[in-house]
Structure formats: C-alpha cells, structure tokens
Amino acid sequence: MKRKKVSPLIIILASFMGIILLGTVLLKLPFTTVAEESLTWVDSLFLSASAVCVTGLSTISSIGDTFSIYGKVVLALLIQIGGLGIVTIAIYVLMLLGIKIGVTERYLVKEALNQPTHGGMIKLVRSIVLVTLTIEFIGMLINFTVFIQDFEFWKALGVSAFHSISSFNNAGFDILGSTSIQAYSSNIILNLNTMALIIIGGIGFIVIRDLLEKKNWKNLTIYSKIVLKITLFLIIFGALLIKLLEYDQVTWLEAIFQSVTTRTAGFSTVNISQFSYVTLIVIIAFMFIGASPNSTGGGIKTTSIYIIFGSIISFLRGKPFITNKRMIENRNRIKALVIAILAFTITIVFFLVISLIEAKNAAYDNKMLNILFETFSAFGTVGLSTGITTELLPATKILLSILMFIGRLGPITVFGIINQNWKQDMTGKINYPKEHILVG
C-alpha cells in the first residue's frame, strides 16, 4: 500500500507547535523562576508562544526579576529557534552530523523559507545559520561595552547575549529587570546597535545574503532593492510621524528608535501607554505592516504593502504596475491583497472575541483601543503593549497565543493546509468565458 506523503506545510506548523509545547513544559518547571512558585500553565504557554513566535508580549511584569538563569536561557533558546525556524536548525544539525540531505528535506526547506525552487537549499541553510550567529556575536560584543558599566562581568555578558539574540530575532524581550530598556533611552551606542540588529533581522536572510554577495547597489536583485527602499521609507516616515505627534514627549533618538522597533521588534525606550490615541493608531498601522519576507519579523510584510499601494496608484493612473523596468505579475498583486485582507479579518475577529471576553474584566472597562493595540501587536509579532498584558484573563492569553502563532507563520501558510492548491496557477487549466461585473 502506497504511503501518503505528509504536506510540508503540516510539518512546518507541527514543528512550531511542538517547540511551543516543549517550551511550555520547560518554562513550567519550578526552577524557571527565582520564587518558589512556578508559572501557571497558561502563562507558560503564553510566554513560550511569544518567544517561539518572536513576539515579546509577556504576562509577567519583569522577566529579568522573575526568571532564574535557567529560565532566561530557555527563553533565549526559544527565541533563537523561533527566529531561525526549527526546519532550518534541524537541517543544519543533520549537515553537521554528516547525514545526507535528500530531496524531501530540501523541498521542506524550500517551503519553510518560501523559495521558488529547492536548488541551493543546503548552501542557503548554512549561510543563514552562520550569518545569524556572526551578527549576534558582534551585537553581543557591542552591547557588552554598555552593560559592563552597570553590571558585573558575567551578568553583563549574559544580558548582552540575550539582548543581541532578542534584537536580531525581533523578539523584543529584555532581562534588564524593572528598569527595562527605557533606562537606556539616551544611550546612543545601545540604541544604534539595537536598531541595526532589528533592521538586519527584519530585512530577511535573502536580502542579507544578496548584500554580502553583491556588495553593490546596482547588482542587487529587484526584490532586495524594493525591501531596502521600503524599509528606509517606513523608518523615516514613522520617525517623523511619532516625533510630530509626540513632540514634547520623545526626543529624535527615541522617535527613530520607536519607528524601527514598532513594525516588529517590540522594544520601547519610552512609555507608549502615555501616547495619544492618534499615535497608538499610527503604531497599530505600522505593526500590521511588519517586517520583510524570510525575516525574523511578522506582519503582512513590506513587499505586500508596496505591491498593494503600487497597484492602487497604477490603477488610478490607468497604467500597468511597473517597478525597476519590470511588470509585477497579477498573481503577486492578488496574493498581496489576499494576505492583507485575511490578516486584517483574522485580527479583527480575534479583537471582537477578546473584547467580549474582557468585558467581564472590570479592570478594562472602556479600554477598547488598548485591547485593539494588544491584538495587532500579537498578530504582527511585535510585542509592544500599553501595559494590559499582565492582567488579561486566561482565555484572552490563549487566544493571543494562537494569534501570535498565525502571525508568525502567516495566514497563507496556516490556511494552506486547508487548500493545498493555493500555489498553483489561479486561472486553472480550463479557459472560461470572461464576465464583466459592475464594481464601485
């Protein structure tokens, strides 16, 4: 009897779910915290999902003060696995052990990294792991020059390593204790290093490799040029908006840092709960956009928003969508629109359900914007919060954990299990007569 092959999408989803469940058990152990009482199962699940999905939302007020060294190491490992992806790590370990990587494994990597073909997957996996560890190591050394001034050697080294891993993987966790990273809001070295790590992790491994290999703007692929240009635009535009809306509340350094971290990382050198409603809505929009494809970040991705707005402009001008002397395929335009609509619909549905649940929580009466902010932060795997995460009801925490999972893998990947033909030509093999339907 012929054995039915398991879909790569199912393997990818199952691997992430397995790591989240394993992390839940590891974080539930009594020696995870410095106190005698261990975390609840719901909090363990939430933190594990937040780490593996590189989000940064936390149901405990201070990870640095609550977690033991063991707990911090487990959290760092979960962030690293979540950022790289369990498939990438598994294939790399097999390579180190000298085990031959077959066609099935290469195809699995292709699906996990969203590549057009399965050629060169082994080389890609090797470069992803080595580049990641190298960048994180450099980031750790730079962090160390800052933290050694405030902590003894080994603690400074641990904090530096954790912060580097959390920054590059766009996780947003810090273990600085009650002071948090806000205590370093004016430290130029830490701010610049953290922003650099976030940006590099957020542009994606494909762009990083392209930059390292080509080393020249003209030789870069069109995809890399689009990612870099839209990333730079969003950083500058976001910084200007935040500074304009919160002129007396933030410095230029804080505005730029917040613009960089808002789309996916989740660090904050200011208290965003003091921001105006308008600023919070702007941040929600940036969290929804997120990072770039094949990166450690979430959201609908920079390329999706570029294609959507480009399509709108080209339609209004009555011209085809041309970029870098290339016409964008209708398939890409449809996919970008589907991703945005699916993502927005899913997030709003979760928001409405969570609002009904939290209506029973007297602490959050008339704080719908805070719940909306938390929901978009979870889907975008950002981790920014107005401060309500620690007091959410257990049911809400579970729903946000699910939303982080969907946001990390992407709606297309999650719902791809239902429809295995979504990657095939949408026009099908049969040509049907065209029908004109009135629109607008």
Of 62, 31, 289, 34, nearest in space to 173 by CA = 62
Q: DSSP letter string over 14-39?
A: HHHHHHHHHHHHHHHSGGGBSSSSPP
First-last CA distance in the chain:
54
Q: What percent of the chain has pLDDT over 70?
A: 87
The answer to which of 29-33, 322-326, 351-355, 420-424 has the lowest mean pLDDT is 420-424
Rounded CA separation 389/322 (Å): 44
Beta carbons within 8 Å of 193's beta carbon, 6+ residues apart? 139, 142, 143, 146, 167
Q: Give tens-digit pLDDT for 52-61.
A: 998 889 888 8
Q: 240 with 329: CB under 8 angstroms?
A: no
Where does residue 62 rank: exposed (0-12), middle (13-18), buried (19+ CB within 10 A)?
middle
Rounded CA separation 206/33 (Å): 38
Q: Torsions phi, psi of 161, nearest 5?
A: -65, -45
The answer to which of 36-40, 94-98, 172-176, 300-304 has the lowest mean pLDDT is 94-98
The answer to which of 10-19, 30-39, 118-127 has the lowest mean pLDDT is 118-127
Q: Residue 433: what pLDDT?
A: 78
Segment 77-90 shows an average pLDDT of: 86
Q: Residue 191: what pLDDT?
A: 94
Token pair recorded at residue 122: 């082994």
**Quick check: helix, strand or coil at residue 327?**
strand
Token pair recorded at residue 342: 């699916």
Q: What percent of the chain has pLDDT over 90?
A: 42
Please determine, for residue 294, whether its predicted confidence score (pLDDT) is greater than 70: yes
Rounded CA separation 3/153 (Å): 56
Strand partners, 327: 322
Rounded CA separation 316/309 (Å): 11
Where does residue 366 rank: exposed (0-12), middle (13-18), buried (19+ CB within 10 A)?
exposed
How do strand 326-327 and strand 322-323 relate by DSSP bridges?
antiparallel
Segment 366-391 shows an average pLDDT of: 88
Q: Residue 1: what pLDDT?
A: 45
Segment 34-38 shows an average pLDDT of: 80
Q: Residue 421: what pLDDT?
A: 53
Please determine, for residue 115, whether its predicted confidence score (pLDDT) is greater than 80: no
Of the two residues 111 and 299, the one the predictor is more confident about is: 299
pLDDT band at 164 (very low <50, low <70, confident <90, very high): very high
The answer to which of 24-28, 275-279, 342-346, 424-428 has the lowest mean pLDDT is 424-428
Q: Residue 353: what pLDDT?
A: 94
CB atoms within 10 A of CB 194: 29
Please determine, for residue 371, whether its predicted confidence score (pLDDT) is greater than 60: yes
Mean of all residue pLDDT scores within the chain: 85
Q: Please report, for the chain, how many H helices and E strands are present, in that order.
A: 18, 2
Which parts of 253-373 are beta strand (E)? 322-323, 326-327
What sign does the CA torsion over 291, 293, 299, 304 have?
Answer: positive
Q: Give tens-digit pLDDT for 138-152.
A: 999 999 999 999 999
Q: Residue 112: what pLDDT?
A: 67
Q: Give tens-digit pLDDT for 177-214.
A: 766 788 898 899 999 999 999 999 999 888 998 888 88
Of 323, 151, 147, nearest in space to 229 by CA = 323
CB atoms within 10 A of CB 187: 16
Of the two residues 398 and 263, the one the predictor is more confident about is: 398
Q: Residue 36: what pLDDT?
A: 74
Rounded CA separation 134/353 (Å): 43
